[in-house]
């Protein structure tokens, strides 16, 4: 039996997990909160906030990942989204990069205790791209959009795309990046948009701000890849995951020349 408060939060937000997924995610969160008492890893220390914000982002992200992908979680912090993604999608290979030594050691402890096949690197993600190749780099609450694109720009031969989780201030970040010409060499699409859950209104995935203003309460996942390069066909196919976070039915096929889903925000051009 999982924690009743966890079960209540899952039901309140409309999510279903298998018994194994629920047990492993509960174990992860309890370890995260235990370590959070001695090292700052998360502000979401209730089940409602964890499910409504952290797990929600992970469910949405999981629906955009194809089986067999090699995924790098850039600046993993407390392990979101990488660790829940590895639990929801055991058919993908997840690696965590965290440059802060104390956090990297905690992540390694958590992964070991959960017996997850997840590699933890005490390094900046950009450094790993000199030596390793990944299908997808994922990022959540790590720098502005401009900084992320600048960091990755020299390393596009080492990955196919980025999936960047952002909160309500992503439009302002896009404007800043566009103003400085940072987006001129990449395609940028809104792959997912969804309401942010939880009992408080706060910023998720943005570098600064209070989460107010236009679009407050909405999260997005941005897909970014170099101009002039076609995504592999499977990576241009977005799927509706259903409650378990795994691929199910084809939802949107996104390409630079064929933006779709303008009304819902899925697949529309954001660059």
Within its chain, how far is the Cα of 73 from the centroid?
Answer: 8
3-state SS assignment for residue 61: helix
Q: How many CA atoms lie within 13 A of 69 on its CB side?
A: 29
Give residue limits of the domains in the chain: 57-199+218-226
Are the C-beta atoms of 164 and 224 separated by less than 8 Å? yes
Residue 248 φ then ψ, to 5°: -135, -90
Cβ neighbours of residue 39 closer than 8 Å, sequence gap 6 or more? 102, 103, 106
Among candidate residues 14, 10, 87, 22, the one with its CA nearest the CA of residue 50 = 10
d(CA 25, CA 56): 13
- At 86-115, the pLDDT tens digits run 999 999 999 999 999 999 999 999 999 999
- The pair of structure tokens assigned to 180 is 């400085």
d(CA 40, CA 58): 20
Among candidate residues 139, 114, 92, the one with its CA nearest the CA of residue 247 = 92
- At 45-94, the pLDDT tens digits run 999 999 999 999 999 999 999 999 999 999 999 999 999 999 999 999 99
Give the lowest-confidence range in 64-68, 154-158, 196-200, 260-264.
Answer: 260-264
User: Which pLDDT belongs to residue 252?
Assistant: 33
Among candidate residues 28, 149, 144, 135, the one with its CA nearest the CA of residue 73 = 135
Pairing of strands 218-226, 186-195: antiparallel
User: Which pLDDT belongs to residue 242?
Assistant: 38
User: Which pLDDT belongs to residue 1?
Assistant: 87
d(CA 82, CA 162): 14
- At 105-153, the pLDDT tens digits run 999 999 999 999 999 999 998 899 999 999 999 999 899 999 999 999 9
To the nearest 10°, report the CA torsion of 202, 207, 212, 215: -100
d(CA 251, CA 43): 33
d(CA 109, CA 35): 10
d(CA 89, CA 65): 9
3-state SS assignment for residue 177: helix
**Percent of the chain scoring above 70 in pLDDT:** 79
Among candidate residues 173, 149, 135, 150, the one with its CA nearest the CA of residue 224 = 149
Residue 60 φ then ψ, to 5°: -65, -40
Are the C-beta atoms of 247 and 69 separated by less than 8 Å? no
Determine the length of the chain: 271
Q: What is the CATH topology of the domain spanning 57-199+218-226? A: Rossmann fold (3.40.50)
* End-to-end Cα separation, the chain, in angstroms: 46
User: Which pLDDT belongs to residue 55?
Assistant: 96
**Percent of the chain scoring above 90 in pLDDT:** 72
Are the C-beta atoms of 78 and 103 separated by less than 8 Å? yes
């Amino acid at each position: 039996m999982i924690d009743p408060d966890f079960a209540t939060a899952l039901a309140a937000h409309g999510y279903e997990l298998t018994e194994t997924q629920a047990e492993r995610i509960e174990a992860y969160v309890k370890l995260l909160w235990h370590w959070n008492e001695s090292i700052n890893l998360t502000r979401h220390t209730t089940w409602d906030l964890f499910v409504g914000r952290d797990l929600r982002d992970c469910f949405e992200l999981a629906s955009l990942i194809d089986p067999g992908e090699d995924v790098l979680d850039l600046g993993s912090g407390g392990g979101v989204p990488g660790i829940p993604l590895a639990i929801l999608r055991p058919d993908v290979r997840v690696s965590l990069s965290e440059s802060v030594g104390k956090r990297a050691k905690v992540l390694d402890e958590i992964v070991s205790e959960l017996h997850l096949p997840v590699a933890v690197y005490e390094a900046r993600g950009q450094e790993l791209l000199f030596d390793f190749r990944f299908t997808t780099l994922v990022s959540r609450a790590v720098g502005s959009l401009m900084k992320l694109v600048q960091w990755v720009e020299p390393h596009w031969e080492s990955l196919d795309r980025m999936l960047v989780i952002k909160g309500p201030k992503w439009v302002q970040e896009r404007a800043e990046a566009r103003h400085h010409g940072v987006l001129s060499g990449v395609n940028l699409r809104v792959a997912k948009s969804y309401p942010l859950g939880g009992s408080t209104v706060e910023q998720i995935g943005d570098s600064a701000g209070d989460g107010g203003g236009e679009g407050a309460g909405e999260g997005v996942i941005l897909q970014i890849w170099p101009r002039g390069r076609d995504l592999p066909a499977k990576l241009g196919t977005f799927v509706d995951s259903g409650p378990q976070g795994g691929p199910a039915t084809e939802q949107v096929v996104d390409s630079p020349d064929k933006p779709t889903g303008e009304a819902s925000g899925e697949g529309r051009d954001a660059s």
